[in-house]
Chains A and B, each alone.
Chain A
Amino acid sequence: MVIAKTVDGEIGIMPQHAPVLGVLVEGGVLRIKREGEGDLAAAVHGGFISVADDEVSVLAEVAELGSEVDVAAARDALDRAQASIEANQEDADAAIEAKRARARLRAAGEEV
């Protein structure tokens, strides 16, 4: 099963799902539940999910597997982004940065 976060909310895709084309949110976590193996998580920033012919493809602008996330760097990025949000409430860039950093940490299985 593939679980992704679209702009409408979370969507879970099981085998034999009807064809869907969805827009993914900035800073979402994609989870793939596999039989017999552990889950696979990835931080996905923007892009699309398309389901057709029993195949799920995720087209992301930037994506990172949870196991490849540099936790220290992501935490660092989150701290920096939060500091600049506190300094300036309307800092849209920093808000996106914070979202991305959170998604990366969540994908890596860290508490945020």
Chain B
Amino acid sequence: MGAQLRLLRRRINSVKSTAKITRAQELIASSRIVKAQQRMQAALPYEREITRAVTGVVSNAASVDHPLTVAKDNPVKAGVLIVTSDSGFCGGFNANVLREAEALRGLLEGRGLEVVPFVTGRKGVTWHTFRQREMGGQWVGFSRKPAYADAKEIAQTLIDSFKDDNGIDEIHIVSTEFVSMLTQNVVVKRILPLEVEETEATESTAIPPYFEFEPTAGDVLESLLPRYVESRIFTALLQSAASEEAARRRAMKSATDNANELMRLLTQEMNQARQAEITQEISEIVGGANALADAAAGKE
């Protein structure tokens, strides 16, 4: 009996220290979500303006042919940028992204395309190396706090490969979109060939203004498009960073809740065991005393 009591006490202590860790992780994640959200907000005006500029060029100068806007006649390879996190402890965050990426892979392969994954985040990279999948590119170390330079590097690799004749012919991106603290959705978008999408349908500009270009529409597009791709990737990275922290906070919260519940059950069990031990000791003492009393009474 004594051994069982000791065992339970040890388990309670270990659950308690685990709960302490997960609680701390939860608090850290909550404070980081706020910062990640602020970074997301700060990047919004730039993205909005650049989207407006690209829309302006494309709608004004429909005749402009640029390698980045034209869909190739018979695409062979498709690049998929998969945005995952560097560290774990974030529930189904990475699993969701990777599942969606696999679905996209099936879809693209159904169209007869060869899929080249480009992966950011240590979790996604490990997932691919474990399955011995060849990657077109991999980047790790900034999932929590992506800088614009990171997005630039990724965009450069993708665009180089896109322009290369033997490279990829389409670029898709699989990442997590941050809707709110409680909702994060995995989204799949095609970024190249260009599909200019209106982010806000209720935009007041009814007719896009007729732009003049300095020096020419083609030149503007030439330097505008890579910036646009960078900005789209940067936004995806920022959203993914915020979503990662939100997912981590949720996972750590339920871990803490579970640990507390487990602690309650174990404490109950321990009290029962202790009570049983005391009861047994009492009955042993009483039994012993009775036996002695009986023996004494027999002598007299």
Question: In chain B between 198 and 242, which residues have their CB closer than 8 angstroms to a CB of chain A?
Answer: 205, 209-215, 219-220, 223-224, 227
> Which B-chain residue is minimally distant from A21 (CB atoms)?
B211
Given the complex, which residues of B lie within 8 Å of A11, measured CB to CB?
Answer: 214
A6 and B220 alpha carbons, distance in the complex (Å)? 11
CB-contacts of A55-83 with B (<8 A): 57, 59, 61
Given the known interface contacts A11-B214, A21-B214, the answer about A53 and B209 at a Cβ–Cβ threshold of 8 Å is yes
Is the C-beta of A109 less than 8 angstroms from some C-beta in chain B? no
Kindly supply a per-residue 1/0 record for chain A positions 7-25, scoring 1 wherever the CB is within 8 Å of any chain B CB and 0 otherwise.
1100100000011111100
Total contacts A-B at CB 8 Å? 64
A8 lies within 8 A of B211 (CB): no
The A-contacting residues of B in range 130-170, CB under 8 angstroms, are 148
Q: How large is the interface on B (under 10, 10 to 19, 20 to 34, 35 or more residues)?
A: 20 to 34
Chain B residues within 8 Å of A59, by CB: 46, 49-50, 53, 227
Query: Is B223 in contact with A21, judged by CB distance below 8 angstroms?
Result: no
A53 to chain B, nearest CB (A): 7
With contacts A48-B220, A48-B224, A53-B205 taken as known, whether A19 is within 8 angstroms of B53 at the C-beta atoms is: no
Question: Bound state CA distance, A46 and B230, in angstroms?
Answer: 14
CB <8 Å contact, A21 and B220: yes
**B49–A50 touching, CB < 8 Å:** yes
Q: Which residues of A contact B36 (CB under 8 A)?
A: none
Q: Is B57 an interface residue (CB 8 A)?
A: yes
Determine if B49 and A22 form an interchain contact, defined as CB atoms under 8 angstroms apart. Answer: no
Chain A residues near B220: list those with CB within 8 A. Answer: 21-23, 48
Whether, in the assembled complex, A1 has its beta carbon less than 8 Å from a beta carbon of chain B, the answer is no
A7 touches B49 (CB 8 A): no
**Beta-carbon contacts under 8 Å, A32-50 to B:** 46-48, 50
Q: How far is the CB of B23 from chain A (nearest CB, A)?
A: 41
Given contacts A7-B214, A48-B220, A59-B49, 13 further A-B contacts (CB under 8 A): A7-B219, A19-B211, A20-B213, A23-B214, A23-B223, A23-B224, A46-B223, A48-B53, A48-B227, A50-B49, A50-B52, A52-B209, A61-B148
